[in-house]
Every structure is written in structure tokens, then in C-alpha cells.
Amino acid sequence: CFTDCSDIFRHNPSNPSGVYTIYPNGSTSGVQVYCDMDSHGGRWTVFQRRMDGTVNFYRNWNDYKLGFGNADGEYWLGLENIYFLTQQKQQELVVDMEDFEGNKVYARYTSFSVGPESDGYRLQVGDYIDGGAGSTLGRHNGQQWQTFDRYQHAGPENCARLFLGAFWYWRCYYGNPNGVYIWGANGSKYEVGVIWYNWKASQNQPTYSLKAISMKIRPLLSALLLLLVPLLASSLILDCSDVYLQNPSNPSGVYTIYPIGSTSGVQVYCDMDSHGGRWTVFQKRMDGTVSFYRKWKDYKIGFGNPAGEYWLGLDKLHNLFRQKKFELVVDMEDFEGNKAYARYSSFSVGPEWEGYPLYVAGYIDGGAGDSLTYLHFHKFATFDNYQHVGSENCPKHFLGAFWSGPTCQYGNPNGVYSWGSEGTRHEVGVIWNSWKGRMYSLKAISMKIRPAE
């Protein structure tokens, strides 16, 4: 069975653009989609298409869940189908659009996924690649789906009802691709039409309703290469789980991985022993030999030595999460020899332009308590790049760098290396508050990821 349009392309690269049947959730889940085999290199599975106003898109939750319309014209594939597609493979996204004057632009994103219905089909979108349209969708990142009859928006307004559409709304004002089909700027009420705010608003036409828009996904090229060219696997070791797969007898130690291709080699410490092994360590404190009170650029690129204390780098972390879905474990030890851990079933980091926001869920108790869930969706902060929502500059105040919430009092793993509770200033040390409290600085802590099973 073909899971998506990229499978149809691999079956026969000469297949033209058109309507095909795919099976997002197994052999009994056949659904018709439009496959774009031409634009931007082809292989795109179209999940939304507006072109002539023949289909009503002001619909209820159940319609958007299951899908509606006709794949050879205007249609919506269905949130359940999109969820299954983005869970099975790492997808990228392109949004093609056209105005009534014949101008065409696009917005492209390096990663795109939709969560389960239980989480409101929450949107996660990666780095923006400029195609002239502007990054309207970046504003909607992390938001839940909304229809007029199921409103999950954080603000006071029912955006779907107010603007006669359905989308991952963020304050209602940035995009409405599923709005009422109207003709250009003629008579369009603000945000009611088929709107991509960053394109036409930049031309002083914020109420301009587009002639055509389509949203399409395809598997990331790296995933395709792993499927099509397995002989290159040795040069495409993305993380320590790949090091293990190459040779399950490989011991813990320093290895070279390639987060974004054969020219991106970087050394990391692979933990092949604890909690079943295969962990890629991205942060390690153990003896205080490396200073962690550093600038944004250092935390972006990485520093230290993987054989000892080090930080892998936020850019490398983000690139890893574009390839696979990961879980996280945080191992720690105090100066009395006690050990504990905190484990999370889901962990990822967003792009730099969003402040490397943290996405973490599914805490599993290992004795250390949960000092991380509170920081979900918050941005990374250093003393020279402070994007924290509170009034204090947490990194400067507590001499560290980490994801910061409304208050600074939950954890400081990258704080100044101190010795236990002796002379440790409040939150200045290497702190995991839910285990030893705010005054005790840990002897060792390490943060590690591996692909979620």
C-alpha cells in the first residue's frame, strides 16, 4: 500500500500529477488525494486546496477531522489522515498561493507535524524557507485546531466563528487559508477571506483574499535517502541509536554523528549502557572544568569536549529533531553518591527564529521529580539574549542558561559548578529543584535523547 505521494513516485517516477489513492493508516484506510509531482521537485501530498470557491470550508469539527470535498478540485484531506501521515514519516511543508493578478509565491517549512485529536491536533512547524509569501504559519506554531463548534484558542475570541473559517489560530490575525472564498481585495472583510497575512499585508492589502492556495507535505529528503540508498547509512549516522544499529557491541564513548548530512560531522558522547542505551548526550556536567556561563552564540554552536563536560549546541539539537521523534532522560547524582533521573516520552527543540522553544511531555518518575514540564513551550535564554516572559533576566540573575518560564525557580542545570549545599547561592549552582531543592548544587547531571519507540 502507498502511504503518501512520495511512495507513488518511488513506485513509478514517471507518474504525473493527479488523483491517487493512499493508505495513511493501513490497508483499510484508502483515501483519495491530489499528488503534485511537478512543483518544487514533486512528490507532494496535497492536504488542502482552494481554487474556485465551489466547496464550503466553514464547517464543523467532525468535517475537518474526517475530510471533505473532492481531490480533483477543492478539498480538505482530514486531520486524522494528516496526523497519521506526519506520525509515520518526518514531513516538510510547502504552501503555494496565487493572487487574482497572476502573481505566485510560496512559503516552505523544513518540518511539519500534527498531534493527535486528544491534544487538539496541535501544530508543530519548523524553519521557514522564503518563497516570497512570508512566514505567516510560524505565528501559529504550537496552536490547537479550532472550528466554530470547538474552540480551543488561548484568547477570549472564537476566531473560527469570528472569521468564518477553521485553522490553527493564533490571536486570529495572521492567517485564514480556510476562510470564505472572496475575490481579491473587493469587499473582503478583514481576515474573513482566504488570507495569508504576511504576503498581501506587506503590500498594504491586509484584507486581500487569495485566488488559490494549497498546502502540501512530503517526507524529508534525508528520510528518502535512508530508504533509497541504504549503502550510504555509514555516512548518514544521525545519532547514537544509528551508531548502535551499525554495531550493537559498540561501547559508551565518543563518536561522530551527522545531524544534517555528510558534511555536518560532530562529536558526541554516546551512552550505550544506562536505561537500555543508545542515548545521544547533549549536555554533561561532572567536574566543573568547563564554564557554562556563556553567550547565546556559544549555546547555539556548542562548546566543551564530549569526553568530559560539554554542550552539543542548540542548532545541532534542532536538526536532530527534524529527522526523528525523541525521548529524553536526565541523569543526576549528588555529592553523597545518590542517583536519580527524570524521563520524558517526548522532547524536541524549535528553530532559532522562535528562540529554540522547548517541547516536552510524558514525565516518567525516576526519583528526581519533574523540573522540566513547567518549561514546556518556553524559549531558551542566555544573559545576552533574554526572551523570557517574566520581568527578571534569569540567566544573568542565576549565572546560567536554560529554558526559562514565568519565574526562574525550577532548574538551572547549566549554572555555576558548586559543591553540594556548601556556599551555594539560591539557584546559582547546578540545580534540579524537584530533587534536591534550590540550594543544593549537583555533582553530576547529563541530558540525553534517543528516538522514541
pLDDT at 60 exceeding the cut of 90:
yes
What is the pLDDT at residue 393?
A: 85
pLDDT at 53 exceeding the cut of 50:
yes
What is the pLDDT at residue 27?
A: 66
- List pLDDT tens digits, range 337-377: 999 999 999 999 988 888 899 999 999 999 999 999 999 98
Domains and CATH numbers, the chain: 5-219 (3.90.215.10), 240-451 (3.90.215.10)
Please indicate whether residue 127 or residue 407 has the higher confidence score (pLDDT). Answer: 127
What is the pLDDT at residue 275?
A: 96
Which 3-state string (H, E, C) describes the chain? CCCCHHHHHHHCCCCCCEEEEECCCCCCCCEEEEEECCHHHCCEEEEEEECCCCCCCCCCHHHHHHCEECCCCCEECCHHHHHHHHHHCCEEEEEEEECCCCCEEEEEEEEEEECCHHHCCCEEECCEEEEECCCCHHHHCCCCCEECCECCCCCCCCHHHHCCCCECCCCCCCEECCCCCCCECCCCCCCCCCEEHHHHHHHCCCCCECCEEEEEEEECHHHHHHHHCHHHHHHCCCCHHHHHHHCCCCCCEEEEECCCCCCCCEEEEEECCHHHCCEEEEEEECCCCCCCCCCHHHHHHCEECCCCCEECCHHHHHHHHHHCCEEEEEEEECCCCCEEEEEEEEEEECCHHHCCCEEEEEEEEEECCCCCHHHCCCCEEECCECCCCCCCCHHHHHCCCEECCCCCCCEECCCCCCEECECCCCCCCCEEHHHHCCCCECCEEEEEEEECC
Residues of the chain with pLDDT > 90: what percent? 61
Average pLDDT over residues 203-221: 84
Confidence of residue 154 (pLDDT cuts 50, 70, 90): low
Confidence of residue 389 (pLDDT cuts 50, 70, 90): low
pLDDT at 230 exceeding the cut of 90:
no
Q: Rounded mean pLDDT of the chain? A: 88
Confidence of residue 418 (pLDDT cuts 50, 70, 90): confident
pLDDT at 427 exceeding the cut of 70:
no
- List pLDDT tens digits, range 403-412: 987 777 678 9
What is the pLDDT at residue 324?
A: 87
Confidence of residue 225 (pLDDT cuts 50, 70, 90): very low
Please indicate whether residue 254 or residue 386 has the higher confidence score (pLDDT). Answer: 254
